Amino acid sequence: MIHPTAIISPDVELGTNVQIGPYCVIEANVRLGDRCHLHSHVVIHGHSEIGSDNEFFPFAAIGTKSQDLKYAGEPTSLIVGDRNVFRENTTIHRGTVGGSPTTIGSDNLFLAYSHVAHDCTVGNHVILSNNGTLAGHVTIDDHAIISGLSAVHQFCRVGAHCITGGITKIVQDIPPFTIVDGNPATVRGINLVGLQRRGFSEEDIRSLKTAYKKLFLKKEANLKAAIESLDPDLAKKPLVTQLLSFIEGSERGIIR
């Protein structure tokens, strides 16, 4: 189902049962998977490889050129998984270096005016709320939620199962399983409701609460010393191990 006003390059590869609405433009070197739905006025640039069952609302601009002033026009790409929703005026940019695409997983929700810049990696089941903004080279792990009008500085990492408050300024890595809020952001607690909704056990949540008290309540305390003071059995708990691994792998430092 392709509306007669849509403009589609002959070099586009379309899957089965694709719906393309009025005034959409799909440029060369785009691959669009099965059952994708473009409502109207959607623009998709190449090189973009898009999976199945993705939905694009009016004025979404997908796979467009990076805004990075260092970008020299080299061929770059965007890779998108399955079952994502891109609401009105969402912008998703390609990478800036050949072989380093912007990558988006599956089952994500990008609300109106959200922005994913060049060379970002977005996992699965992520929500980017209205006007949520990712600068270049940001990594978002699974089940993270970036609330409205929040901005993530380039090269930051956002841990799994975390959530930010609205209008949050994020200039360092967000530890997984936490709530962060503020300008600049600070950790406000464990994402208790989110973890419960996703079926984590009470034992797992209890272990995170104990580790949180040691690592985050006394923000003036030395983080390395706080980690070393954790009970060895607690440090071996799966979610605590994941939290500690994230902290130890941080290059920008973590939000506390």
Residues 95 and 208 in one domain: no
The boundaries of the domain holding residue 40 are 7-140
Spot the catalytic one: 21, 95, 132, 136. 136
Cβ neighbours around 71 below 10 Å, total: 17
3-state secondary structure at position 23: coil
In a domain, residue 25? The reply is yes
The pLDDT tens digits for 96-114 are: 987 789 999 999 999 999 9
Last residue of a domain, one of 75, 110, 140: 140
Catalytic residue among 118, 125, 143, 161: 118
Q: How many domains does the chain have?
A: 2
- The predicted pLDDT at position 136 comes to 96
pLDDT, tens digit (0-9, with 9 covering 90-100), for 199-224:
999 999 999 999 999 999 988 889 99
118 assigned to active site:
yes
14 within some domain? yes
Please name the residue that has the structure tokens 């109207």: 40
Measured distance CA(133)–CA(25) in Å, rounded: 24
Check 53, 119, 141, 142 and give the catalytic one: 119
Residue 31 forms part of a structural domain: yes
* Residue 119 a catalytic site member: yes
201/95 Cα distance (integer angstroms): 39
Q: pTM above 0.85? A: yes
Q: Measuring CA to CA, how many Å separate 186 from each of 30, 43, 179?
A: 41, 37, 8
| Domain identity same for 25 and 132 | yes
What pLDDT, in 10s, does the model give residues 81-90?
Answer: 999 999 999 9
Residue finishing a domain among 104, 122, 140: 140
User: Helix, strand or coil for residue 26?
Assistant: strand
Tokens of 249: 């792998």
Mark whether 47 is an active-site residue.
no
* 136 lies in the same domain as 207: no
Residue 184 lies in a domain: no
